[in-house]
Structure 1
Amino acid sequence: MSAEAATHPVEAGSAPTAEPAPVRRRRKRHKDNGAAYAFLTPWFLGVFGFVLIPMGYSLYLSLTKFDLLSSPQWVGFDNYLAMWQDEKFLHSVKVTLTYVVTSVPLKLAAALLVAAALNRGLRALGFYRSVFYLPSLLGASVAVSVMWRQIFSGQGLLNQVLGIFGIRGADWIGDPRFALWTLVLLSGWQFGTPMLIFLAGLKQIPRELYEAAELDGAGRIRMFFRITVPMLSPVIFFNLVLETINAFQTFTPAYVVSGGLGGPIDSTMLYTLYLYRKGFSSLQMGYASAMAWVLFVVIGLFTALYFASSRRWVTYAD
């Protein structure tokens, strides 16, 4: 190229210089990111509008005295300190812990046993899965809770059946000795969701392990505890965490079965029910917000404890 051509600009209408490959890749990446953020915008709006901002406002309310009718008044940590002087609060903690440590093992045991039975190659497996999953599909709804109240009331279905055999049943809901256990049974009855998860996990266990153990003379019980449980431990861990969180947040059954009062004699006063009564019956929304944050921390501690202990008993296959 001559020196004269090098010093003169490119004439109009001439072909433009090709864009370098790194620039084209960077421009395409920015375009793809823009499209991804556009699709994620509804999710971001939901997280900020319905999760993070309400949580932040709830944390602020937990440090105030707020009755829903007047402006919040700052009181610092008074709500948190007042909990430890509140006998009903302490009682609700005791009732809730009792409910959690009994309902969760019962629910998981029922789910695992039924899943193991369904995994034996039964005919019409889809039908049986649907039947066992139906209670969980209904969920802890008001209709199910009303049905449960009708079954376990003094003149309910259970006592009518017992009466056929000459057995005089108790007022299961009206007696403080039994009221909480009716809620535990309701939770155990709705084992469909963990059952399906267990069933999926059981189908991933190689059959060769059972065949080798059977050749060595191992019985069914021994194979269950030596093969099934260790191989299924990640699924057990998942269900344990999920069901513990759900158990701590149980509200509808306790509200409906007890008539919203947590009776008799506060025997079904779960933590969430007492939180609701403080916030919407007593109009102590600041106190209720503090209770909600205590529950959030407790659930987080239980979850962290599960994860810390999982190193000793959860086995992940390579």
Structure 2
Amino acid sequence: MTQYLDFEKPLSEIEGKAEELRAMGRADEKVDVEKEAAALDAKAGEMLANLYRGLTPWQKAQVARHGERPHCKDYIDALFTDWTPLAGDRNFADDHAVMGGLARLDGRSVVVIGHEKGHDTRTRLERNFGMARPEGYRKAIRLMEMADRFSLPVVTLIDTPGAYPGKGAEERGQSEAIARSTQACLRLGTPLVSVVVGEGGSGGAVAFATANRVAMLQHSIYSVISPEGCASILWKDAEKMREAAEALRLTAQDLLKLGVIDRIIPEPTGGAHRDRAAAIASVGSAIEAMLGELDGMAPEAIRAARRTKFIEMGAQGLAA
């Protein structure tokens, strides 16, 4: 059953009526409802295209958080073969909010690291809603160092509201772990490509996305803070999240103009959750293309290009 967002309510009514008609037809084969149902489908399709053609930044934030969007595990299962998960930070524990391991992408050996939110109540609690603790970032550091040692490209899939702000995480050095994960990205002598597939929240996202190439799905978001958090700080009112989303310039389209990301990956009409297979295939094609752009580069050149990219990012932003 489709989960409708607030701005999709008119669409839900039309699609609901079409489904009711088809249910009537299944209950009574003498009643021919297909013509009327098809007309409603056409109207719903047109409405869906119009809605998603003019999404506001806040609406894009809602789409990016949609519970039915493909998550890290979905991409790993569909795109990679010979997946071998690697667990633990060799210091404290294994953080289930961060998936990591060895895999093959179209025959190429890679290390994959990503945030996993879970898909139902049990797995969302197990995965801590994609909010990593220090041990998650330390696990990522361990895997990046291994990738560097064996000359393996690294692919990161970003989908987190931000790093977990709990007391235990802070006691175990959350900010230090994030900083060292970002440092590990910069030191990596092999290609590093990142895709923001949902939410790219704060340092929790940057810790995996300080990459040679950064892509975003069309309706994903990437920002230093959530719209609600920004509104609470600036206006002392979380209900100002729409204004905050506008001001943060958190959409893929804004960030491409600012030079923060390198490409936008198109989503199916209605968002990645409406056609998960197509969205996953598009992400896979983008990852292969980005890795292809870095083929043959020496480790020193890869590090230098990555460093230059982030040094020049501020200048591009000011110019924009």
Point out which structure has higher relative CO (alpha carbons under 8 A, 6+ apart): 1
Q: Which has the higher helix share?
A: 1
- Structure number with greater Rg is 1
Q: Which has the higher strand share?
A: 2
- TM interval, short-chain normalised: under 0.3
